[in-house]
Structure 1
Amino acid sequence: MGGQWTMDGFVSRDPRSGAIFAERPCWQAAEADHALANADTAARRWAALPMVQRSKALYRLADALEMAQPTLAQSCRREMGKLASEAEDEIQRSAKWCRFLAERAPTWLADEHNLTGRIQRRPLGVVMAVTPWNYPVWQICRPLAAALAAGNSVVIKPANNVAQTSALMESICRDTLPAGLVQCLWLDELGTRRTLAQPGVAMLVCTGSEITGRQLGSLAGHHLKPAVLELGGNNAFVVLDDADIEAAALAAAESRCLNAGQACTAAKRFIVLRQVADRFIEALIAAMAHYRCGDTLAPLARADLRSRLALQVDRSLEAGARCLIGGQPAGGRGDFYPATVLQDVRPGMPAFDEELFGPVAAISIAADEDEALWLANAVRQHLAASIWSGDSERASKLAGQLRAGMICFNRRPGSRFELPFAGSGASGYGSTLGRDGLLAFTQPVGWLE
């Protein structure tokens, strides 16, 4: 995923036209300190409330998100280039996550009793969330709702190109929740580092590039603060010879083109057994051809992201990959990149070794399951994976050897509220969904009785 530190200040630019329509300067240190002080006060008051009151607040937040959907969706579309349906789905998912936690958190956070005593889950205090641009509502709401359910306050450092949507989220929270409980921090890189190092920040949650995760995770570790890092995924989509090829190809194209391919959980590398490779490639090309720039395919969020993707494709072609469809930035206005399929992609090529954050499908053909497994695991980032087979036992056996934080069977990679979502390798560490994700925002305290 693109880095956090792309420009000075916060600049909102329409990816469809290139027009800048809003700018916001970065804060000075005193403004960040004032926000932290307010967050600390709010955290103490919030933690003292009974869980039932925190749940009611999350229900209210879900209602408020749905009420604000037209405005939020328009902001997502304008700042990030999303299709209208994609923006609306993101907001609905965020509201559902708030309601899910409102219902489950009282049980998940309840004291656990055993033979010698009990375990109590206490809030940490002020949680600092460094959030990305690709899902500007969901990527704020995902850590926000869990941190609030656990009794914490949240300060958010938004990505530089989605300040308007982030400010809308802050406004919705301000109108719905107690004062100071959720605040945005309008900081540059230096200000972000300085604020994270402050004693008032208890925990870091960071979703972004590996470089950003390494920098901020290292700083959090230096100050002995827990961190949850989700740093993207070079995800494998493995197609075995007994798979439903048509269904696999449709899911593959959807995974590559939803949100213009700018999703950490999306499949990036398509590893297909040789026996069915020709059929899968033919079906995938047909499915990808349905995604048309400006109609069913959104632009990339920024011009530099399109340039990086084009360079990754070009370097892969120079190294021996073949382009079957697409492969060149779209002409005209906007940061569009067409649906693209690359074949004969192997280790050592950018299309294999690096995460492709755009609508490009990289196909690697494997002679057998052993080679398919080796190819799937031969990268550094392992966030999610998908296995396609007509035999669930066969798929389960392969899944047991596959590196990934989430593995999907006969469906495109993704996540579910009730299951932990965590990466492995260079995809980061810590869970952000499920009970594990909620408990990450708490301090377990043992009581001997």
Structure 2
Amino acid sequence: MQANRFVSRDPRDGQVFAERPSWQRHDTRQALTAATQAAAHWASSTLAQRAALLRALGEALLLASPVLANSIQREMGKQYAEADDEVLRAAKWCQFLAEQGPAWLAPEPGAHGQIWRRPLGVVLAVTPWNYPVWQIFRPLAAALLAGNAVLIKPAPNVAQTSALVEMICRELLPKGLVQCLWTDEVGTREALADPAVSMLVCTGSEATGRQLGALAAHHLKPAVLELGGNNAFIVLADADIAAAAEAAAQSRCLNAGQACTAAKRFIVVEAVADAFRHALRAALAHYQCGSTLAPLARADLRDKLARQVSLSVEQGARCLLGGQPAGGRGYYFPATLLEQVTPGMPAFDEELFGPVACLSVVADSAAAIALANASRQQLAASLWTRDTAQAAPLAAQLQAGMLCLNSRPTSRFALPFAGSQASGFGSTLGRDGLLAFTRPVAWLAG
């Protein structure tokens, strides 16, 4: 955000193509009032009515997919096919919840009665820029089905896409039920502190999560925080090296590596280190700036990534591929491979939000687990081995919110999507994620 304005800039050439002013305080107040009124009416609707509207919302997303995908590509640089997949995922999530969610929200039998699920009221969703449609609908669909109103605080650089989402919701849903808050960080904190807001959902950096999470706690409001992911990708001696290398390259280069669930730290046992290094370098080399590799979303993100790589090399990491920002227009950073990455380097200690793979070699599986757990920011972890018998006991030692065997980390609608330690807490998918938007009520009948 620049001078109280939301600025949309095409990362492919750096040109500004749209701006919108930030709200004044009275605008936020009006939105809070409208959301409170809408939440009261929505809470009295039936689950069947909510599910029907959620289903219609998914269908509307499918119809609007070309427009939304173009907007995503223009605002944050994503490849069109990936942007289209993002919209499709959001639509499928709406449809999945419309089918499965009512059963999860039904009264549960208890020892002396029933457990009812009631909505919380108004949910404030602070959303990021890297998946500007999916990251809105991930909490939005569940919050709506649970009976809540939702206020969306969009990331400043994806305002046009967020406005399109808001327009789609307004055409289908009751007035005031879903609104964007076009405000700055101060206005966001004021909205969170307001008694009208009942819950916080925040997807963003650890620093943002700590600040907003502390404010929510101060005002005794529940919060779900999905923060950074400095995720480990462990390759053991019996792994399928070709498949692991291909998945590793995809994890680092899809969406230009700008995904919190993406693998960042590649920890390989010594017996297959040479083979994996060679295969990963070849797989990364297929991603070329401007054709198969998108730019980073902003200039400051590209510059930060360049500093992290440069400082890591100064501290002893070895660059085998890429390593410096691409020349010319746009915020491109080439696919990069660093080896000899150790704790204490930015490439190990910090989340590298871009197409940079960081390779560390260890003696055995025990050393791999220990090195993986050296980060407190493990949202997801991958374990690669053909020995399925040893996989579960090893995975159980990993301190991550999601554990994947022989696949790159991706969330599933039916399973909880939750962080671990500094990567956040709470869930926004699965039954756990849906129930997070409710409060349990004990009904004691006699």
| Class of the TM-score when normalised by the shorter of the 2 chains | over 0.9
- Whether 2:139 is the aligned partner of 1:143: answer yes
Structure 1 segment 293-332 matched on structure 2, within 5 A:
293-332=289-328
TM-score (ref. length: structure 1) = 0.98
For residue 298 of structure 1, what is the amino acid of its counterpart? A
246, 249, 259: which one aligns with 1:253? 249
> Could you tell me whether the CA contact under 8 Å between 1:58 and 1:149 is conserved in 2?
yes
Offset, 1:209: 0.6
SS at match of 1:279: helix
Offset, 1:391: 0.7
- Whether 2:442 is the aligned partner of 1:440: answer no
Return the alpha-carbon distance in structure 1 between the equivalents of residues 366 and 380 of structure 2: 19
Return the alpha-carbon distance in structure 1 between the equivalents of residues 224 and 254 of structure 2: 26
Give CA-to-partner distance per residue, 1:92-111, whole Å, 9 cap, x none. 00000000100111100000
- Whether 2:381 is the aligned partner of 1:353: answer no
Structure 1 segment 206-355 matched on structure 2, within 5 A:
206-355=202-351
- Whether 2:160 is the aligned partner of 1:164: answer yes
SS at match of 2:440: strand
Return the alpha-carbon distance in structure 1 between the equivalents of residues 395 and 428 of structure 2: 21
> Could you tell me whether the CA contact under 8 Å between 1:77 and 1:87 is conserved in 2?
yes
For residue 306 of structure 2, what is the amino acid of its counterpart? A
Contiguous gaps of at least 5 residues in structure 1: none
Runs ≥4 residues deviating over 6 A: none
Return the alpha-carbon distance in structure 2 between the equivalents of residues 168 and 394 of structure 1: 48
12, 26, 36: which one aligns with 2:22? 26
Contiguous gaps of at least 5 residues in structure 2: none
Give CA-to-partner distance per residue, 1:163-219, whole Å, 9 cap, x none. 000000000000111111100001111111111100000000000011110110000
Give CA-to-partner distance per residue, 1:357-410, whole Å, 9 cap, x none. 000000000111111011100012010000000011211111010010000000
352, 359, 376: which one aligns with 2:372? 376
Give CA-to-partner distance per residue, 1:322-345, whole Å, 9 cap, x none. 000110100110000000000000
> Could you tell me whether the CA contact under 8 Å between 1:7 and 1:160 is conserved in 2?
no
SS at match of 1:224: coil
For residue 347 of structure 2, what is the amino acid of its counterpart? A
> Could you tell me whether the CA contact under 8 Å between 1:234 and 1:268 is conserved in 2?
yes
123, 131, 137: which one aligns with 2:127? 131
Return the alpha-carbon distance in structure 1 between the equivalents of residues 304 and 16 of structure 2: 21
Return the alpha-carbon distance in structure 2 between the equivalents of residues 9 and 281 of structure 1: 45
- Tell me how many residue pairs correspond in the alignment: 445
- Whether 2:72 is the aligned partner of 1:76: answer yes
Offset, 1:37: 0.7
Q: Partner residue of 1:55?
A: 51
Offset, 1:7: 6.5
Return the alpha-carbon distance in structure 2 between the equivalents of residues 105 and 42 of structure 1: 21
Return the alpha-carbon distance in structure 1 between the equivalents of residues 136 and 167 of structure 2: 13
Q: Partner residue of 1:400?
A: 396
TM-aligned CA distance change 1:384 to 1:6, over 3 Å: farther
Amino-acid identity (%): 69
Return the alpha-carbon distance in structure 1 between the equivalents of residues 73 and 410 of structure 2: 22
Return the alpha-carbon distance in structure 2 between the equivalents of residues 105 and 251 of structure 1: 32
Offset, 1:114: 2.5
Return the alpha-carbon distance in structure 1 between the equivalents of residues 48 and 237 of structure 2: 51
Offset, 1:6: 7.5
- Whether 2:12 is the aligned partner of 1:16: answer yes
TM-score (ref. length: structure 2) = 0.99
Offset, 1:8: 3.6
